[in-house]
Structure 1
Amino acid sequence: MIEARGIVLRAGEDQAWVRVDDQPTGCGRCNEPGGCGGAKIAHAFGKPDEVFHVENPQHFVAGDRVRLQIDDGAALGAAAVTYGVPTLGALLGAGLGTWWAGNTGALTGLVVALIASVLFVRSIGGRRFWRQKLSVRLAADSALCSSTHTETASRHD
């Protein structure tokens, strides 16, 4: 489970805006040989947005300390589908186009298959299964031992 600690900035009926206080804890091997380096890659393009808008079924309130959680492998699975399907589609389209009509067919097949693959990925992205798999969940931050937090956490359990 990938987690990051944060604080609820504001909360609506079933939603919350959470500011991340610390770095997410992924595989924990970012600086080791063989580590995924996901955190380094993410920060290579600038600091990510540290305020997240998430569902709030536990009804946390502003000021509550929480943990944002996402399942292990969810990001890898999303990347595999997002990049893998169009890549395979483009290669398959180019191969079939070449077989069907030579070089001109290769380019046409590549473009048509790439567009179809991207549309397919976009269409499955909105489906309930993918939204649940990639959803960020909130949990009370049990690492804090203050009496205020204990009272707040007991409200949500």
Structure 2
Amino acid sequence: MMEQKARVIGQDSPDWVLVEVEMQSACNHCDNSDNCGTGSVAKAFSAKLQQFAVPADRRYEVGDLLKLGLPESVVLKSAALVYLLPLFGLLSGGLLGQVIGGQLGLNANALAMAGGLTGGFVCWWLGKRQARSLEAQAQPIILSYLGKQVTGQSA
């Protein structure tokens, strides 16, 4: 289960709570982030906030902190669709272009390149669509209540 801290920003109905999650770059969590060029670039850009509703079993107040969970299988399936499917399309499109070019007596290498690029692009597009659908169906759940958000108010 992948976990993320979220802040409650509203509750429209008793069964759903609106939360805000700060999307973080993986570069900020590495021990070498101070010595890495990619980590420096990641720090230069501000964090993105994402808002969505999650099912709630009780009422929460604005500012409450929650720990949300999302099954890792959703992320792994999406990554496989976006990365492995285009690779499969590239290889099978190239092989198909090579075979067709050889049988027709055409330039097999040019057809293999064109077939590979076409197959890779088509499979990337299909994988991206399927991954979006899969992620839209995935619903984070509230794992625990973390308390109130501490603010810097002076007395």
Would you call these one fold, judging by a TM-score over 0.5? yes
The alignment-based identity, stated in percent, is 19
Contact 2:81 2:131 in 1 (8 A): no
**Quick one: which amino acid aligns to residue 136 of structure 1?**
P
Higher-Rg structure is 2
**1:1-157 equivalences in 2 (<5 Å):** 1-13=1-13, 15-20=16-21, 30-31=30-31, 43=42, 46-58=45-57, 60-63=59-62, 64-101=64-101, 102-127=108-133, 131-132=136-137, 134-141=138-145, 143-144=146-147
TM-score after normalising by structure 1: 0.60
User: Any gaps of 5 or more consecutive residues in structure 1?
Assistant: 33-39, 147-157
1:104 CA drift (Å): 2.1
RMSD: 3.7
**Quick one: which amino acid aligns to residue 105 of structure 1?**
L
1:72 CA drift (Å): 2.9
Tell me the secondary structure at the aligned position of residue 72 of structure 2: coil
- Richer in strand (by share): 2
Mapped to 2, the partners of 1:68 and 1:85 lie a distance apart of: 29
Mapped to 1, the partners of 2:96 and 2:19 lie a distance apart of: 48
**Count of residue pairs brought into register by the alignment:** 132
1:86 CA drift (Å): 0.8
Mapped to 2, the partners of 1:48 and 1:79 lie a distance apart of: 22
Mapped to 2, the partners of 1:76 and 1:107 lie a distance apart of: 29
Mapped to 2, the partners of 1:116 and 1:74 lie a distance apart of: 22
Q: Name the stretch that deviates more: 105-114 or 44-53.
A: 44-53
Task: List, as ranges, runs of 4+ consecutive aligned residues in structure 1 with deviation greater than 6 Å.
Answer: none
User: Any gaps of 5 or more consecutive residues in structure 2?
Assistant: 33-38, 102-107, 149-155
Contact 2:10 2:17 in 1 (8 A): yes
Deviations 1:72-116 (A, max 9, x none): 343233212211101221121112212221022112212321232
Task: Flag the 1:81–1:48 CA change in 2: closer, same or farther, 3 A.
Answer: farther
Aligned to 2:153: none
Deviations 1:130-153 (A, max 9, x none): 544x43223441x54x8xxxxxxx
Contact 1:2 1:71 in 2 (8 A): yes
